[in-house]
Amino acid sequence: MPIATPEVYAEMLDRAKAGGFAYPAINVTSSQTLNAALRGFAEAESDGIIQVSTGGAEFLSGTTVKDMVTGSVALAEYARVVAAKYPVTVALHTDHCPKDKLPGFVRPLLDISLERVAKGQDPLFQSHMWDGSAVPLEENLEIAKELLEKTARARIVLEVEIGVVGGEEDGVVGEINDKLYTTAEDALATAEALGVGEQGRYMLAATFGNVHGVYKPGHVKLRPGVLKEIQEAVGAKYGKEKPFDLVFHGGSGSLLEEIHEAISYGVIKMNIDTDTQYAFTRPIADHMFKNYDGVLKVDGDVGNKKTYDPRSYGKAAEASMAARIVEAAQHLKSAGTKIS
C-alpha cells in the first residue's frame, strides 16, 4: 500500500504527533524528482509526503500544455505505479493554492476525487492546501469552511494557512512584517470556523517567522513559541491537548533546535523544496563543468554522447536529492518510523 489510503494517512498523521516527529513533504516537478523522493524515503525508512505546487503542476503537464490539473493527475497516476516498488508509504498533496488559482487547481481536483470516492475508489490526492494568507482572515476562513465540507466528503485532509509566510514561491510574495507571526486570536477564530476535527480533518500552517527561499542558518528569525501559544489557547477552550496538526513552511536556514522545538508543539509536516532543488541541480552543474567539451560540440566537434545523455547526469541528480531527503528525515525524526 505505497500510496496511503485515507485511513492510513490519518494513521500517519496521528503517529507523527504521538511519536514526536514530522514528515518531510517534498515538492516535485517531474517523474525524476518524484523517483528521487521515493528513493530518499526508502533509504531513510521513513514514510512521507510528496507534493506539487501550482507551478510544479503546470510544468508537469508540459511547457506547451501548461495545465495544472493535467499535470497533477499525471503525477498522481505515475506515482501510483512507481511507488508500488518501494517499501514505504507516501501521501500525495498539493501545495500553496491562492484564491485566483482555486478554480483551475484545487476545485477540479476535488471534483475528480469526489467522483472516485462515489465509485468506491480512494481520492486522487490525500490532501490539498488552500493558501488564504493574501486575503482577510474572515474571507480566508469562509473559503476554508466551504472547502473543508468538500474535502471531508472526498475523504481528503485540507491544509489551511493563517498568517503569512514571507519571501516568494511560485509568484506568491509574502512581505516580511508582523503578519509572519500567527496570533492566538487568529487560531481561536480558525477553530471557531473549522472546528477541531469534528467538521473534517485539516492541518494548519500557522506562521512563526517563516520565510520561503534560501537563507543561511540563523538568518530567519523564527519564534516557535508562537505555536505553543496557539495550541494552548485553543486547547484550553476546547479541552484538547495540541488540537492542531501543524505544518512548517519556509524552513530553509532554520536551526535544528528550532525545528525540534516546533515539532514538540505539534508540527507533523515540514515542507522541503529549496534545499532539494539545490541538491538535485548541484551534481548536474558539476557534470557540465567537468565535461564541457563532451556535452557541447565545441568547434564543430561531435561531443561525447555518453556525457550529454540525460541519464549520465540524471542519475547523480537523483542520488543527491535522495540523500538530502534522508538528511531531512533524520532532522525531523521520521527516519526509521515507517509503517510497513
Residues annotated as catalytic are 95
Q: According to the annotation, is 273 in a ligand binding site? A: yes
Intra-chain end-to-end CA distance of the chain, in Å: 8
The Cα angle at residue 312 between residues 309 and 316, in degrees rounded to 5: 145
CA–CA separation, 211 vs 168, rounded Å?
A: 8
Backbone phi, psi, residue 192, to 5°? -65, -40
CA–CA separation, 186 vs 183, rounded Å?
A: 5
Q: According to the annotation, is 251 in a ligand binding site? A: yes
Q: According to the annotation, is 272 in a ligand binding site? A: yes
Q: According to the annotation, is 213 in a ligand binding site? A: yes
Burial 210-238 (b: 16+ CB within 10 A, else e): bbbbebeeeebebebebbbbbbbbbbeeb
Helices assigned H by DSSP within 160-309:
184-194, 225-238, 256-264, 274-290, 292-295, 305-308
Q: According to the annotation, is 250 in a ligand binding site? A: yes
Q: According to the annotation, is 182 in a ligand binding site? A: no
Q: According to the annotation, is 50 in a ligand binding site? A: no
Q: According to the annotation, is 161 in a ligand binding site? A: yes
Q: According to the annotation, is 271 in a ligand binding site? A: yes
Q: According to the annotation, is 219 in a ligand binding site? A: no
The DSSP result for 146-178, as a single string, is: HHHHHHHHTT-EEEEEES--BEEETTEEE-SSG
User: Grid coordinates standing for 162?
Assistant: 493563517
Q: According to the annotation, is 334 in a ligand binding site? A: no
103, 52 contact by CB (below 8 A): no
> Which residues participate in the annotated binding site?
96, 131, 161, 212-213, 249-252, 271-274
> Which residues participate in the annotated binding site for dihydroxyacetone phosphate?
213, 250-252, 271-274
> Which residues participate in the annotated binding site for Zn(2+)?
96, 131, 161, 212, 249
